[in-house]
Structure 1
Amino acid sequence: MNAGSTMERVYLDLKARIVGGAYPPGTRLDPFHLAKRLAASPTPVREALHRLSGERIVDSWHQEGFRQPIFAESDLCDLYRWSGALLALALRDPALQKSETAAMLPTMEIEDYPARVARLYRAVALLNGNREIRFAIANMIDRSEFFRAAEARTDPVASEEIASMETAFLQERWADLRRKSAAFHRRRVARAGRVAAELRPRSQTIE
């Protein structure tokens, strides 16, 4: 395996672990310790961490290394507002009126709330004609996957809200979907404190 393919493998593997919640908030992500788990040398791991830092999926400080982000209530509020603004912008694309939506939202049953949120957001992004908006939504999906499970645990109606948004999407009721998305994100902001508390950040080093 050449250096380029090794770096990409390490990046994708590490990214999946981080956004999937393998490490608690505040966990120090040490390249040497991670290298053992990823069957790689520290160099591609360090490069992957720098790349993930640029995508704001991990936190980094000069000469202090990397860590799994710690989400304060204010951080979550900012992310929820940004997510809501992105979807509102994407759903105003005139091209939506001429699209085949059914192909964008797979009909297979997904019970997992984080996966359903990601699937819906990704479907909206794919229908939008602006590549920058698509990229921004994809990045938002990655950055928010870590705390989606906490949303479901702290909000009994979160899954119902997503189901309602899915229905509006499949029926191409774009104005209705914009309203539902706005309400969904307002509720996320209102309950951000509960999600932050549920995450219970604690600092540790991977060994």
Structure 2
Amino acid sequence: MSPGATMERVYLDLKARVLAGEFAPGARLDPLLLSRSLSASATPVRDALNRLSGERLVESWHQEGFRQPQLAEGDISDLYIWAGSLLSLALKGRTPMPESPDGLIELATHDRYSEGIDRLFRTIAIGSSHRELRYAIVNVIERTAAIRETEAAVDERAAHALAAMSEDYRFGRWSSLRNKITQFHRRRVAFASRVAARVRPRSQPLR
């Protein structure tokens, strides 16, 4: 395998592990240790970590290496507000579609809440003609991936809200969907402290 192909494989494998929440919040990501499980030398692993740091999926500290982000309540709230703003902007100006019995846009169904959120928000991003907006939405989707299941665990209405948003998208009810997305993320902010408490390492005291 060529060096370029190895670097891309390591990047994609490591990114998948980060998005899946395999590493505990605040955990140190050592290139040498990771290289063993990724079947690669430390160099492509370090390059992948630098790339993920640029995407803000991992944190990089001068002379301290890399670590999994440890999100506090304020960080989580900011991400929710940012996600809601971007998604609302992506839907702005879309012309409502006439309803039909079967719907105009089918979204794949998912058993897991996190997968459903990912699918819906990525579909909204793809529908935007603004390239930078698409990139920004995908980035915030990835940065919140590890906390999505926790959302459903602390808020019993989360899955219902997802279903309602998906239904609006299916029938092209853009104005209604924008309103639901705004309300959805406001509720996410209200639950941010509970999400933060759940994802905090058990050894870390409350502050």
Q: TM-score, normalised by structure 1?
A: 0.92
Q: Report the 3-state secondary structure (helix = DSSP H, G, I; strand = E; otherwise coil) of the residue aligned with 2:144.
A: helix
The separation in 2 between residues aligned to 1:52 and 1:188, in whole angstroms, is 25
| C-alpha deviation, 1:96, in angstroms | 7.6
CA contact (8 A) 2:96 2:173 kept: no
Which ranges in structure 2 are unaligned for 5 or more consecutive residues?
none
Q: Which residue is 1:118 aligned to?
A: 118
Q: Which residue of 2 aligns with 1:163?
A: 163
Alignment partner of 2:142: what SS?
Answer: helix
Distance in 2, Cα, partners of 1:58 & 1:202: 20
The Cα offsets for residues 17-56 of structure 1, whole Å up to 9 and x where unpaired, read as 0110111101100000000000000000000000000000
Matches within 5 A, 1:166-205: 166-201=166-201
Q: Gaps (5+ residues) in structure 1?
A: none
Distance 1:159 1:36 in 2: 38
In the alignment, is the contact (CA less than 8 A) between 2:113 and 2:149 conserved in 1? yes
Residues 94 and 174 of structure 2 are in contact (CA less than 8 Å); yes or no, is this contact kept in structure 1?
no
1:71 Cα deviation from its structure 2 partner: 0.7
- In structure 2, distance between residues paired with 1:202 and 1:132: 38
Q: Distance in 2 between matches of 1:101 and 1:79?
A: 30
CA distance in 1, matches of 2:132, 2:97: 20
**Alpha-carbon distance in structure 1 between the residues aligned to 2:130 and 2:14:** 29
Deviation at 1:86, TM superposition (A): 0.3
Return the alpha-carbon distance in structure 1 between the equivalents of residues 107 and 29 of structure 2.
Answer: 35
1:65-119 deviation digits (Å, cap 9, x = unpaired): 0001001000001000000000110011447869x962xx533x31101100000
1:20 aligns with 2:17: no
Who is 1:88 aligned against? 88
Residues in 2 aligned to 1:75 and 1:201: alpha-carbon distance in whole angstroms: 16
Instruction: Tell me how large the CA RMSD over aligned residues is.
Output: 1.7
Question: Residues 27, 202 of structure 1: CA spacing in aligned structure 2 closer, same or farther, 3 A cutoff?
Answer: farther
Q: 1:82 to 1:136 in 2, by over 3 A?
A: same
Once the two structures are aligned, what percentage of the paired residues are identical?
Answer: 51
Deviation of 1:140 after TM superposition, in Å, equals 1.0
Letter in 1 for 2:35: A
Give the match's secondary structure for 1:40. coil
| Partners of 1:193 and 1:63 in 2: CA distance | 31
Q: Classify the secondary structure of the residue corresponding to 2:36.
A: helix
Q: Where does 1:50-65 land on structure 2 (aligned, <5 Å)? A: 50-65=50-65
Task: Answer 1 or 2: higher relative contact order, Cα 8 Å, separation at least 6.
Answer: 1
| Residue identity in the other structure for 1:83 | A
Q: Relative to 1, partners in 2 of residues 1:78 and 1:69: Cα closer, same or farther, differing over 3 Å? A: same
Q: What TM-score results when the alignment is normalised by the length of structure 2?
A: 0.92
Give the structure 2 partner of residue 44 of structure 1.
Answer: 44
**Alignment deviations for residues 134-178 of structure 1 (CA, whole Å, 9 cap, x no partner):** 111111111110111111111111000000000000010000000
Is the Cα contact below 8 Å between 1:25 and 1:199 reproduced in 2? yes
- Preserved contact between residue 151 and residue 158 of structure 1 (Cα < 8 Å): yes
Partner of 2:107: 106
